[in-house]
Amino acid sequence: MHAWTLVFDLDGTLVDTAPDLTASTNHVMNGIGLAPVAEGDIRPFVGHGALAMIERAAAAQGRQLSQQELYALFDVFIGHYAANIAANSVPYDGVIAALDTFKARGATLAVCTNKTEALARALLDSLDMTRYFSAITGRDSLGVCKPDPGHLTGTIALAGGTAARAIMIGDSETDIKTAQAAAIPVVAVDFGYSLAPVATFWPDMIISHYRDLELAAGRLMDAHLNT
């Protein structure tokens, strides 16, 4: 795996952040006199960002928010989330073991997320995971963000890798389409926050647990070397 770069999405791929994102959404709902929403109702919209979570949570209770209201509530959300970023967020089962294995085998690791870079770093710092990654980029890091392929290729370059020897790991249509647009193989995890089954978007491989990532990545590397 030496000279290969593995680029991971963050929310729904490396870390289950839904509990804390739900708590911040409910902090906003409480502030506007609405009832809290269940985590299960919020999870499918995590990949679409805070604005979508706020809007959907309010709409489910018959409240339509103006753009002005929405952006004001976004600031409330971010303030609460930043202060509680890893209260209940945890890496998915097997993540740390997988990162240790890939690092030990000489792979370069990076994160490419549509979170802001500051929030991504704060989350990874809180979970003692920052040390694994040679580059961490957010939606505000490179002037473009997923699904623009430049976000992924720019992350690979910052990590010191090359697009010809890189693999993307993500949980959503956005991640898969970003990798496909960059002509980079993509492994989809099926336990994240996708609105539809990840198979719908034709990733190169699908895994259901991080113990399977080494085999999946190895097959994609072998396929590249044999083309």
Q: Catalytic site residue 9? A: yes
Specify whether the CB–CB gap between 192 and 174 falls below 8 A.
no
- Angle, vertex CA 222, rays to CA 219 and CA 227, nearest 5: 125
pLDDT value at residue 1 = 60
Question: How many of the other CB atoms lie within 10 Å of CB of 196?
Answer: 10
Q: Which of 9, 11, 175, 204 is catalytic?
A: 9
Per-residue pLDDT, 197: 95
Check residue 2 and give its pLDDT.
Answer: 64
Cis bond before residue 147 (omega within 30° of 0): yes
Radius of gyration of the chain (CA): 18
DSSP 120-144: HHHHHHHTT-GGG-SEEE-TTTSS-
CB 171 within 8 A of CB 198: yes
Joined together, the tokens standing for residue 50 give 């805070």
Q: What is the pLDDT along the chain (227 residues), one digit of tens a residue?
A: 668 999 999 999 999 999 999 999 999 999 999 999 999 888 888 878 899 899 999 999 999 999 999 999 999 999 999 999 999 999 999 999 999 999 999 999 999 999 999 999 999 999 999 999 999 999 999 999 999 999 999 999 999 999 999 999 999 999 999 999 999 999 999 999 998 999 999 999 999 999 999 999 999 988 877 65
The single-letter code of the amino acid at 60 is A
Instruction: For residue 6, give Cα distances in angstroms to 101, 128, 213, 220.
Output: 12, 19, 11, 12
**100 Cα distance to chain centroid:** 19
Q: Tell me whether strands 135-137 and 108-112 are parallel, antiparallel or unpaired.
A: parallel
Q: Where are the extended beta strands (E) located within 113-210? A: 135-137, 166-170, 186-189, 205-207
Angle between helices 95-104 and 213-225 (to 10 degrees): 40
Q: Check residue 43 and give its pLDDT.
A: 87
